[in-house]
Structure 1
Amino acid sequence: MTALVQYDVEGPLARITLDSPHNRNALSRQLVTELLAALERAGDDDGVRVVQLGATGSVFCSGADLSEASSVPMEEGARGIVEVQRRILALPKPVVTRLQGAVRAGGTGIVAASDVVVAAERATFALTEVKLGLAPAVISLTVLPRMTSRAAALTCLGGEVFDAHAARDYGLVTTVVPTDELDAAVAAQVASLATGAPQGLRETKALLTRDLLAGIDQHAETVIAQSARLFGSPEAREAMAAFLSRAKG
């Protein structure tokens, strides 16, 4: 089986790369399983101080893998995405996400869970669930606390595409840079964070993520059930089938 997540270490940096460009790095069962394992590996490595999360291809992450909606139990898929967000937040090391391209739907939860997000100007975002009869249920655990309430209402109810500068203004992105400067900007950010002492990084991150983790622990089961119910509804199934048909065409 071809790996969908790549892992490598260079000095104090662990790079975790989503590598499933054939389906726009969708959050399939395999990709989620491998991503969780990579995050755990980075967390357990005492030599790693900073984790860089990125992706290959033109899309960072397209969200849930809709092609698995009929084969993977609804709750299992939702629970996996919740666990990815929780593990990023609970990791005792800062996570810097490199956004080279589009982020859609569930992929936004990964972005929101990250500590620092550096986006290329060409990156775009959309919370498209509403278009499919769904709601951004499981990713609401990280997305809503990061965004202003007005921005959340606009993007979640509208489901329209917005650019990287808007994502920064809304609270989803830390820094936006010209596309050809992305790698240099990410490297500079990683190098700066890597100067922190391990204990200082661990304890400071725990302070920063405390409320987000508490929210996940309090509301996870509710949004998992909501997500499963919506994905299994006739309205959503019809909309997803139509979407997949258009994508194949």
Structure 2
Amino acid sequence: MFETLTLTTEARGVARLELARPEKHNALSGQMIEELTQAAARIDADPAIRVLILAAQGRSFCAGGDLGWMQAQMEATAQARAREARKLADMLGAINRLGKPVIARIQGNTFGGGVGLACVCDKVFAVPQATFGLTETKLGLIPATIGPYVLARMGGGAARSVFMSSRPFYAETAKRLGVVSEVVGPQALDDAVNSEAEAYLHCAPAAVAEAKAMALQLGGAPTQETVDASIAALVQRWEHPEATQGIAAFFAKTPPPWRAG
């Protein structure tokens, strides 16, 4: 069984996969990334599962990269960093290509890799108070590995408005950018998600899978070439002094040297 996730399946064919590190705001650790990849494979191979709800425990949906993982990257070799980035890319790709509809239930903060997770779901419901952000540049990094999936979801113009400034934005803006499908109040969130899941149960499962595959193919899904390029860009960025300075400042709770004001 999983240690960082919970996976439950209803007899009618609805599976619920929850990020289960609420005390860490469901930050993506190396273990969670691996378990998400394993869970995606298990769900994809189970014909009894017809739709997946991706949710999270606690107040946050996903805070992005785990702090321990980030510290390990500071001391890792370029090859080790590339391997870790590849694991994240493979996990996002596995969920993106899942032959079942994936519905995200976002009840709280969603940063960095959490935005990447939202962007590989087919429909995303979020509460108005949910805060989103691509905050990597504050640390001297770039949203590289998640980039192909975020760009595929937002489009280049929309992505440029949030890719560089690290400014947080709320669910209504995330909807305008294409990350969120519908913004619903906290009390209506579960009803909206369940109603969406129910709709797929009235459709032919193989037809749903083929329709999703066609949407990915025609909609400009990330290619292996773009995924590889994003990993290479992240590894190169880790070598820049800004990355070392930014992450060291983050852990020391001091301003990085480039911060003005």
TM-score tier after normalising by the smaller chain length: over 0.9
For 2:251 and 2:117, the matched residues in 1 are separated by 23
Give the 3-state SS of the residue equivalent to 1:69 in structure 2.
helix
Give the 3-state SS of the residue equivalent to 2:105 in structure 1.
strand
- Displacement of 1:241 in angstroms is 2.4
Cα distance, 1:243–1:157 mapped onto 2, change above 3 Å: same
Cα distance per residue 1:91-142 (max 9 Å; x no partner): 1101001001011012111111111101111111011011111111111111
The answer on whether the counterparts of 1:104 and 1:128 sit within 8 Å (CA) in structure 2 is: yes
In the alignment, structure 1 residue 168 sits paired with structure 2 residue 175: yes
TM-score of the pair, normalised by structure 1: 0.93
For 1:193 and 1:237, the matched residues in 2 are separated by 47
Query: Paired residue for 1:245?
Result: 252
Structure 2 matches for 1:1-249, cutoff 5 A?
3-11=3-11, 12-71=13-72, 73-210=80-217, 215-246=222-253
The size of the alignment, in residue pairs, is 247
Moved more, 63-72 or 12-21: 63-72
For 1:50 and 1:162, the matched residues in 2 are separated by 29
Give the 3-state SS of the residue equivalent to 1:59 in structure 2.
coil
Give the 3-state SS of the residue equivalent to 1:58 in structure 2.
coil
TM-score of the pair, normalised by structure 2: 0.89
The structure number with the bigger radius of gyration is 2
For 1:213 and 1:40, the matched residues in 2 are separated by 23
Cα distance, 1:36–1:108 mapped onto 2, change above 3 Å: same
The one-letter amino acid of 2:65's match is A
Give the 3-state SS of the residue equivalent to 2:17 in structure 1.
strand
- Displacement of 1:194 in angstroms is 2.0
Cα distance, 1:58–1:185 mapped onto 2, change above 3 Å: same
Gaps of 5+ in 2: 74-79, 255-261
For 1:228 and 1:66, the matched residues in 2 are separated by 18
Moved more, 235-244 or 24-33: 235-244
The answer on whether the counterparts of 2:152 and 2:222 sit within 8 Å (CA) in structure 1 is: no
Q: Which has the higher helix share?
A: 1
Moved more, 230-239 or 9-18: 230-239
The one-letter amino acid of 2:4's match is L
The answer on whether the counterparts of 1:74 and 1:228 sit within 8 Å (CA) in structure 2 is: yes
The answer on whether the counterparts of 1:36 and 1:87 sit within 8 Å (CA) in structure 2 is: yes
Moved more, 191-200 or 66-75: 66-75
Gaps of 5+ in 1: none
The one-letter amino acid of 1:106's match is G
For 1:2 and 1:50, the matched residues in 2 are separated by 20
Cα distance, 1:214–1:172 mapped onto 2, change above 3 Å: closer
Which runs of at least 4 in structure 1 moved beyond 4 Å after TM superposition? 211-214
What root-mean-square deviation, in Å, do the aligned CA atoms of Structure 1 and Structure 2 show? 1.9
